[in-house]
Amino acid sequence: MLHDELSRFGVSIPSDLLLQFDKQIKRQGYGNRSEAIRDLIRRSLLQPQQYPATLCVAGTIAMVYNHHASELPLSLTGLQHAYHHDIISTMHVHLNHDQCLEILVVRGEVRRLRELGDRIRALKGVLYAELSVTHLEPGNGDERRGHPGSLHDEERKHT
């Protein structure tokens, strides 16, 4: 089959960068560079921006922010209410005197989740915000647009 054929290619890379890479993949247990690079490529293909805009996905938006930033807690709450159909659950951890870690569990069309992640990241005082998602298999009502939970979803088999 075509996708089982292996292709070889050459890469030019600064020596010190390659040295760091080799150290890292050794720590991670890779036997050789090829498998490590294949994994990196596979992972990059799973990035949210690679998915078709209307695909239904589930995942998380993790963020760190400074809750002293003026208006930020209010803006964040307002934003989350505007996307309440896409947010299933949230967890908030007070990291220290200033910083909060918040994790949103999200489910819906990837374009809406990307938009939410972008809007959070753009808020002043947000130090970091990262969306990570995985594709939901179609069927079982998952293709309904932008609506996460309903009572009927409880009847679905959890796999």
Q: What angle do CA 59, 30, 1 make, to 5 degrees?
A: 75
Stretch that binds Ni ion, among 2-10, 23-31, 97-105, 151-159 (CB under 5 A): 97-105
Which residue number has the CB closest to Ni ion?
100
Query: Number of residues in contact with Ni ion, rule: CB under 5 A?
Result: 2
Instruction: Supply the minimum distance, in Å, between the C-beta of residue 155 and Ni ion.
Output: 36
Instruction: Supply the minimum distance, in Å, between the C-beta of residue 80 and Ni ion.
Output: 14
CB distance 101 to 64 below 8 Å = yes
Q: Is 94 in the site for Ni ion (CB under 5 A)?
A: yes
100 is in an annotated binding site: yes
Report the alpha-carbon distance of residue 110 to residue 49 in Å, rounded: 8
CB distance 55 to 110 below 8 Å = yes
Q: Residue 120: in which H helix or E strand, if any? A: helix 110-122
Stretch that binds Ni ion, among 28-36, 43-51, 92-100, 136-144 (CB under 5 A): 92-100
Q: Is 68 in the site for Ni ion (CB under 5 A)?
A: no
Nearest to residue 126, comparing CAs of 60, 84, 73? 73
97 is in an annotated binding site: no
Known binding-site residue numbers: 81, 92, 94, 100
Binding positions for Ni ion, rule: CB under 5 A: 94, 100
